[in-house]
Structure 1
């Protein structure tokens, strides 16, 4: 039969799949049960020994009061974000000073719970080492009251807890002790001490602020007086006018101008006027000079030359010119009247030009006078500007001094105001927290939480049990699943045989047919194997060798059971016991020991071979191993063995050879050269994987055909619980349960 292997099953996963995990847990449920019993029992015993503790809780609401003494500064810090604020308050409540105050207020040093514990593991170890002179013995000195209070406060700190929800300013103070009343008293006293600390802290802050303000006020008063003296001395030194206090920090107005400033303004105004007049006169002079040089007609003279004399001369010149033009049109050029008229006109033009020249000279004199006046005013203006610049520099320095003096005075007045406000609010300070609810003695213990501890113990036990089960599964050297057999050995699994209860009675041999569940399951498995062989037809193996890796794997039982099953189905079967070293077939079949195969092969029973054949059942012949007096390998490899097998092939449908294990002896390898197929027997969860792999390797190296693997001695209950492929052969489906062999 050609082996067919599932390619998916040929890979053994490193991790444990969920499907296999369920099978492992079902198969090894006893481990989890043991872990549950041990862990839960231990947890229950431990809980019974734990002392009952009681937790009392007081609630505070944190609401910072921001008391300001001015618009610029606050005595307390600004409100922080809720998380930082609550963390700060918890740190204050956890401080050793508050714990020490509670210890002193409630006299907790007299409570045994808050006294130093003697006799712990550390003390016992120390005493043991001192007894054996490994360390110096410790001499316990009596504790002072201070030491007792410090120890009690340290113990108390470990018994206090705080609760606060995110974004909430409600703070819970929990105290856990062995006495419910003590827990409530400590929680209330701690809240009281905290509120007192908050108020005292504010009073201390107020006192520090008051002392600081008084020191600042004294120094500022002296500084204000010094600044005022500096301003006055500078003003006198530079001859500056005294300004009103409301205007000392601003630029001086018109009523505070100096003489130089007033003269500078007047000179500037006059210079502007003179410059404007000069421009007008220079324009008139330019027009007059242009007219004088241009020989313009009297009718075209500019306005600057329009004097009464020139106007009269222009009029007379026009009349004379008209008379000359009239005479020139009727008379010749030599006419005395014409010449007289032309001479008159020329005389008048000359007089006009003489008048124009006189006016132009007058304008030039005026222009020069204006220029001289402008130059004088400009020089005066420059002088005044220098003087005013010096005065401005002095005034600027004065303003700086005045500003400094005013700033110092403003700060001084501000501190006076703050001191007055601080004095008003000093007596009305409140804590930044208030008590919402006082702690009451709890009605029941808060620990130990038995249900939670036992639940954790159950979870832990399950985890430990599952871990151990998986570990055992991974470390186990045997085969527990069909997939493992096929993936490791590379051979198909032909069947699985359950463990059958052994009966030690010759009247009822071990291999007699029973009616129990295991017998029914075994019969069903053998029927399936026989069916697989039947469908092979002509390829069905006739000479079948059954072997194993090690002794006591169920090889002989399987061989006998398979032979019985085939014989019951009508097949002619010969079962040869080839294990000369440890023969056991007679006991399993209820036969008496006697000569057998060894005697046949050694020639001691020539001609009597048929007498050595046993007939325990119909269609089933058995030849026992006999007495092993010769070398088993030589006997099995002999020509007589070859002849015996050849004769058996002609007489029987199937010849089953029950051979020794492969690893202890090589008999199976020698005999395997003559067989058609080999079935390797592997004991469930017992046969080491390495042993099985070595067996298959040896068979293949010897060119012995291997049909497949039979898994024997399977625990039927565990297989059904595990589920999967290993459970299918052992589930008795209604209507398909075999009723006979």
Structure 2
């Protein structure tokens, strides 16, 4: 489902109804267990009363002490001293903590032990004094309330006044020696810090002067790095120039070896003139040879001139190649010098960095010592201000007196806590018991849990309203018969199989009640009780085993269609004693019963026989309705066999007792055998308790139902 297209208002309403249902169900759970909760609350209240009656009464005596700080500021919020401001409420809280301290309690214990009949001082005695002592102070005033709780009011007043006297004596004897000691300690530490600061600053200065470090900031390092980058750039340029010169020399040597003139050498002026002279001499030789002949003296002179010109040209080319070689050597030398400069610059930079780091470490130590000196100075000033303050003066405003009214135990508090705890425990137990109860509570739970319709509720028989229960059960059976198509106007179903998951589910009561209701509706009914018998039946009437094995006996019994005597039905179900039909005009109601005589061990021989199918088929032709009471499906496999010859299968489930998982397991077993369960009937329903799963009180409609049955039945 795509929730993006859902109506948000509808979703919000559904969520609200869901949580309202959960809350309502929880309240109903508490209401159903109200007797248990009330019983727990009553027991807790009784236990609280017993504890209160047995508890020893406690008395509390209080004294008030006013603390005077001597000098207050104009606003009344603080105290000025030595140029510093102090929070008075914090000082009052300090005095209160001093009263609560173990040292005061120990001195009080010593004073009590020194008195006649006093108890020896032990750790437990000191802890008891601290436990029963109460000290409260108000941040808006200078008052401290000191109280003590004891079993005797006079004892409580005595110990309270002893605490007050001990506190005042300690306060008057206490001076500011601690502040003076702190001031002296701070002075000594300041002196050491100054000496350490001077030594650190001198060490940093000497290091700077030794290594001639001018600037340790980022700017100084940047200048050195810039110089380094320039040297590296020059070295790279020299390497490039050297590579160019070497390439030029290589081209020149290759061209000379091939008898050519390198282009860059041919561009020189003197080389160009020699090349032009060579070309002129060559033309003269060619012209003279053509005009005068090869052996003419002028041709010989022209050739000599050409040879001289070529020799001079080779000489000049050689000089130019030598010049290029010198340029290569100069480039290599310059490259080496620059690389050496770069190496030295790198070493210098690394060395300078390490020295600067060492210098910064020395400077950091000096700065840390300077900060510590500043902190010590501030603390020294504050300790001096505290030592200059006047001692705190305290006086008794109200001495402790014996109070005869007990201060504890508090009856209302103990009783309330006991009742509240019992109610909480009862609520928790109620929810746990409800969680443990896994049976069906309401009719509308059956379909969602089992995918089967709930055909009806069979009320449990109560002695107080037996007649009304019989009337309600009869009408329930008539409704079930109509739902299953068993009435005279409905001929779709002839054979009904009634089974259950476990024994004791009210299956027999359901079968007999349904049969009696059909009988009253004018339908002839045959009950086949296929449940095993625990003891051999001495009845002379034909049993189920006889009907299956003997065809003659079966036909004789079915042809007779005789009604059963009353004792037989009463023996089957004692709850039907008051609901059996009456004899009309000497004719017994058309209701017959075939009971099983043997136990479980003979079940295979009985139900494996094809005669069981013939019995049901022939009985369907003689009786209007055949009701088969089958054994529990979870214990015996007979129900799976009998279900194959039944038109309708219903399952009896004990209300509030049979677990839902067991019911579902039985249904699963039937469905795996291709048996369709047409519905479930809840038996043994306590109608008064059943209403508590819907509302807090009995519904007015229920009273109307009973009134209706009482008036017309």
What TM-score, normalized by structure 1, do the two folds share?
0.54
Find the residue that maps to 1:733 and give its secondary structure.
helix
Q: 1:613 to 1:657 in 2, by over 3 A?
A: farther
Q: CA deviation at 1:547?
A: 0.6
Find the residue that maps to 1:660 and give its secondary structure.
coil
8 Å Cα contact 1:183-1:441 kept in structure 2: yes
The answer for the alignment partner of 2:704 in structure 1 is 733
The answer for the alignment partner of 1:669 in structure 2 is 640
CA distance in 2, matches of 1:687, 1:724: 23
CA distance in 2, matches of 1:521, 1:111: 83
Give the total of aligned pairs: 468
Find the residue that maps to 2:86 and give its secondary structure.
coil
Find the residue that maps to 2:404 and give its secondary structure.
coil
8 Å Cα contact 2:92-2:139 kept in structure 1: no
CA deviation map 1:673-722 (0-9, x unaligned) = 12222111111233233322221111111111212222222334432344
8 Å Cα contact 1:160-1:173 kept in structure 2: yes
The answer for the alignment partner of 1:41 in structure 2 is 46
CA distance in 1, matches of 2:127, 2:84: 31
8 Å Cα contact 1:680-1:708 kept in structure 2: yes
The answer for the alignment partner of 1:438 in structure 2 is 399
CA distance in 1, matches of 2:707, 2:492: 25
Q: 1:193 to 1:453 in 2, by over 3 A?
A: same
CA distance in 2, matches of 1:716, 1:517: 12
Q: CA deviation at 1:190?
A: 2.1
Find the residue that maps to 1:622 and give its secondary structure.
strand
Q: CA deviation at 1:526?
A: 3.1
**Are residue 154 (structure 1) and residue 127 (structure 2) matched?**
yes
CA distance in 1, matches of 2:39, 2:433: 15
| Residue correspondence of structure 1 range 694-713 to structure 2 within 5 A | 694-713=665-684
Q: CA deviation at 1:560?
A: 0.7
What TM-score, normalized by structure 2, do the two folds share?
0.56
CA distance in 2, matches of 1:649, 1:719: 37
Q: CA deviation at 1:565?
A: 2.3
Find the residue that maps to 1:446 and give its secondary structure.
coil
Q: 1:533 to 1:92 in 2, by over 3 A?
A: same
8 Å Cα contact 2:650-2:677 kept in structure 1: yes
| Aligned pair partner of 1:193 in 159, 166, 189 | 166
**Are residue 522 (structure 1) and residue 493 (structure 2) matched?**
no
| Aligned pair partner of 1:80 in 87, 100, 108 | 87
CA deviation map 1:466-500 (0-9, x unaligned) = 21221122223433344554443232222222322
Find the residue that maps to 1:189 and give its secondary structure.
helix
8 Å Cα contact 1:600-1:606 kept in structure 2: yes
Q: 1:567 to 1:90 in 2, by over 3 A?
A: farther
| Aligned pair partner of 1:452 in 401, 405, 413 | 413
RMSD across aligned positions (CA) = 4.5
CA distance in 1, matches of 2:629, 2:469: 23
CA distance in 1, matches of 2:676, 2:37: 43
8 Å Cα contact 1:175-1:183 kept in structure 2: yes
**Are residue 645 (structure 1) and residue 616 (structure 2) matched?**
yes
| Aligned pair partner of 1:559 in 500, 507, 511 | 511
Structure 1: gaps of 5 or more residues: 1-8, 116-144, 217-414, 503-512
**Are residue 97 (structure 1) and residue 103 (structure 2) matched?**
yes
Q: CA deviation at 1:160?
A: 0.7
| Aligned pair partner of 2:136 in 151, 159, 163 | 163
CA distance in 2, matches of 1:102, 1:594: 100
The answer for the alignment partner of 2:150 in structure 1 is 177
8 Å Cα contact 1:719-1:726 kept in structure 2: no
Find the residue that maps to 2:457 and give its secondary structure.
strand
**Are residue 685 (structure 1) and residue 656 (structure 2) matched?**
yes
8 Å Cα contact 1:595-1:627 kept in structure 2: no
| Aligned pair partner of 1:476 in 422, 433, 437 | 437
Q: 1:628 to 1:564 in 2, by over 3 A?
A: same
CA distance in 1, matches of 2:38, 2:605: 54
The answer for the alignment partner of 1:578 in structure 2 is 530
8 Å Cα contact 1:612-1:623 kept in structure 2: no
Q: 1:212 to 1:85 in 2, by over 3 A?
A: closer
| Residue correspondence of structure 1 range 491-640 to structure 2 within 5 A | 491-501=452-462, 515-516=466-467, 518-533=469-484, 541-581=493-533, 594-603=541-550, 605-610=553-558, 611=560, 613-615=562-564, 617=581, 620-628=590-598, 631-636=602-607, 638-640=609-611
The answer for the alignment partner of 1:233 in structure 2 is none
Q: CA deviation at 1:658?
A: 1.2
8 Å Cα contact 1:550-1:661 kept in structure 2: yes
CA distance in 2, matches of 1:460, 1:685: 29
CA distance in 2, matches of 1:620, 1:728: 39
